[in-house]
C-alpha cells in the first residue's frame, strides 16, 4: 500500500444527519457512504492499510460559512495529528470575493496543504470567467488544487435512479476540465496544478477524441487551440487512483499524463472497504514496483510539507508552502 493518500474525506461531528439527507437527494439507495466518520476510525483504517498520512477534503460546492467552519474543523484535526492528516481547504467559489479571502485565510492561518474544489458550482463550470480572479489567486500561491466531482445540473432528470458516483461524477470531471482547457484557464494560469479524483473520470478515455475533433469547424474553439496544445494541457494534469486502480483506468491515465503525474487515493470512507481493497490490489498488479514508488514521490513533490510531517512526526511546526 502507499504511504500517502490524497483523497479522503472527514465529516464534522453533528453533521451526519444533514450529510445523509444530502446524499439521499443525490440518488443513493439504502445506506449512505461515508456516514459515521471518526478520527479513530480513520486512523485505524490508515494503520491497517499502511497509510502514513491522508489529505482531508470535503466534497461538494460549499458556501462561505460552511466552508470556513469545515476548514477550521479540519485544520484542528491536522493540528492534533500533524503526522497523519493534511488539509485541502474548501473554497466558496460561487462567492468570488469571499473565496479569495478564504484562500488567504487558509494559507496564512490554517497552513493548508492545498485546496479542494467541486467540478461545478450551481451549474457553473471552470471555464466561466467568474472564476478568473480566484484561479489567478490560486495560481499566485502555487498550491495544488484537488478537483472532486459534483452532480451536474439536471441530475434529477437523467440520473435514472442511480447515484451520482456511478456515472455522472466521472462525467462531470471531464466536463469541467474540458471547459477549462477550451477557455484557456491552464494557459493563463500555468502554476495551477489540478489533481483530479478517480483517475480523471472519463477524461483519459476521451483524450484522443477531444484532441482530434477540436479542429473541426463545428466544434466551438474560440482560442483556435491546436491538437498539440490541448494534449499538452491534458498532460499537465495530475490524477489520483481512487476507484481507478485497474488497467481500464490506469492505462488511459498513463497515456494522458504519464506515471509521474499519478498519486495514490482511496476515497475513504465513501468508497467502502471492499472497493478500496480491490483498487489497491489492482494497482499492485497493474503498476510495476518503480511506478508504485513513483506515486509517493509525486505526492511528496506536490505536497512537501505534508510529506515532511509524515516523515518526521516529532518535528516542530512547519510553515505554509
Confidence band for 204, pLDDT divided at 50, 70 and 90: very high
Note down the domain range covering 73: 4-311
Q: What is the mean pLDDT of residues 218-235?
A: 95
pLDDT score, position 316:
47
pLDDT tens for 65-87 read: 999 999 999 999 999 999 999 99
Write the pLDDT tens digit of every residue in 159-198.
Answer: 777 878 888 999 999 999 999 999 999 999 999 999 999 9
Given a cut of 90, whether residue 226 has pLDDT beyond it is yes
Percent of the chain with pLDDT over 90: 79
Query: CA–CA separation, 152 vs 309, rounded Å?
Result: 37
Distance CA 91, CA 95 (A): 9
Q: How many domains does the chain have?
A: 1
Section 127-144 average pLDDT: 97
In a domain, 50, yes or no: yes
The partner residues of 147 in beta bridges, in order of sequence, read 117, 196
Q: Is residue 318 part of a domain?
A: no
Of the candidates 72, 10, 5, 83, which has an alpha carbon nearest to the alpha carbon of residue 41? 10
Residue range 9-25: mean pLDDT, rounded: 61
Q: Is residue 171 part of a domain?
A: yes
Whether residue 279 lies inside any domain: the answer is yes
Residue 316 in any domain: the answer is no
User: What pLDDT shows up at residue 321?
Assistant: 45
- In this predicted structure, what is the pLDDT of residue 318? 45
Q: How many beta carbons lie within 10 A of that of residue 210, not counting itself?
A: 19
- pLDDT band at 32, cuts 50/70/90? low
Place of cell 486512523: 43
Mean pLDDT computed over every residue of the chain:
90
End-to-end CA distance of the chain: 27
Q: How confident is the model at residue 33 (pLDDT cuts 50, 70, 90)?
A: low
Number of Cβ within a 10 Å radius of residue 203: 27
Q: What average pLDDT does the segment 274-286 reach?
A: 92
Please check whether residue 26 lies inside any domain of the structure.
yes
Q: What is the CATH number of the domain that holds 87?
A: 3.20.20.140
Which residues lie across from 87 on neighbouring strands? 56
> What is the pLDDT, as a whole number, of residue 26?
61
Per-residue pLDDT band for 11 (boundaries 50, 70, 90) equals confident
In a domain, residue 320? The reply is no
Query: Is 269 inside a domain boundary?
Result: yes
Sign of CA dihedral 123, 129, 130, 135: positive
Confidence bin at 317 (pLDDT 50/70/90): very low
Amino acid at each position: 500500500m502507499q504511504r500517502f493518500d490524497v483523497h479522503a474525506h472527514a465529516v464534522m461531528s453533528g453533521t451526519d444527519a444533514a450529510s445523509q439527507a444530502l446524499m439521499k437527494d443525490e440518488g443513493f439507495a439504502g445506506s449512505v457512504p461515508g456516514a459515521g466518520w471518526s478520527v479513530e476510525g480513520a486512523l485505524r483504517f490508515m494503520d491497517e492499510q499502511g497509510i502514513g498520512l491522508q489529505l482531508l477534503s470535503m466534497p461538494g460546492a460549499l458556501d462561505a460559512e460552511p466552508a470556513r467552519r469545515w476548514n477550521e474543523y479540519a485544520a484542528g484535526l491536522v493540528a492534533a495529528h500533524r503526522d497523519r492528516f493534511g488539509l485541502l481547504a474548501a473554497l466558496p467559489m460561487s462567492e468570488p470575493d469571499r473565496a479569495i479571502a478564504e484562500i488567504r485565510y487558509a494559507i496564512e492561518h490554517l497552513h493548508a496543504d492545498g485546496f479542494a474544489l467541486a467540478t461545478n458550482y450551481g451549474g457553473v463550470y471552470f471555464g466561466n470567467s467568474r472564476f478568473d480572479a480566484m484561479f489567478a489567486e490560486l495560481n499566485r500561491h502555487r498550491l495544488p488544487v484537488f478537483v472532486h466531482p459534483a452532480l451536474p445540473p439536471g441530475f434529477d432528470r437523467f440520473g435514472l435512479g442511480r447515484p451520482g458516483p456511478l456515472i455522472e461524477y466521472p462525467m462531470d470531471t471531464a466536463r469541467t476540465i474540458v471547459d477549462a482547457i477550451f477557455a484557456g484557464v491552464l494557459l493563463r494560469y500555468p502554476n495551477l496544478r489540478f489533481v483530479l479524483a478517480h483517475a480523471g473520470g472519463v477524461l483519459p478515455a476521451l483524450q484522443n477524441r477531444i484532441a482530434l475533433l477540436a479542429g473541426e469547424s463545428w466544434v466551438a474553439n474560440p482560442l483556435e487551440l491546436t491538437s498539440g496544445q490541448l494534449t499538452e494541457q491534458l498532460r499537465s494534469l495530475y490524477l489520483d487512483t481512487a476507484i481507478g486502480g485497474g488497467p481500464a483506468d490506469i492505462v488511459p491515465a498513463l497515456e494522458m499524463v504519464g506515471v509521474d503525474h499519478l498519486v495514490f487515493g482511496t476515497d475513504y470512507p465513501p468508497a467502502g472497504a471492499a472497493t478500496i481493497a480491490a483498487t489497491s490490489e489492482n494497482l499492485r498488479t497493474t503498476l510495476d514496483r518503480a511506478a508504485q514508488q513513483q506515486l509517493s514521490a509525486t505526492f511528496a513533490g506536490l505536497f512537501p510539507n505534508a510529506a515532511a510531517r509524515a516523515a518526521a512526526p516529532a518535528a516542530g511546526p512547519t510553515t505554509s508552502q
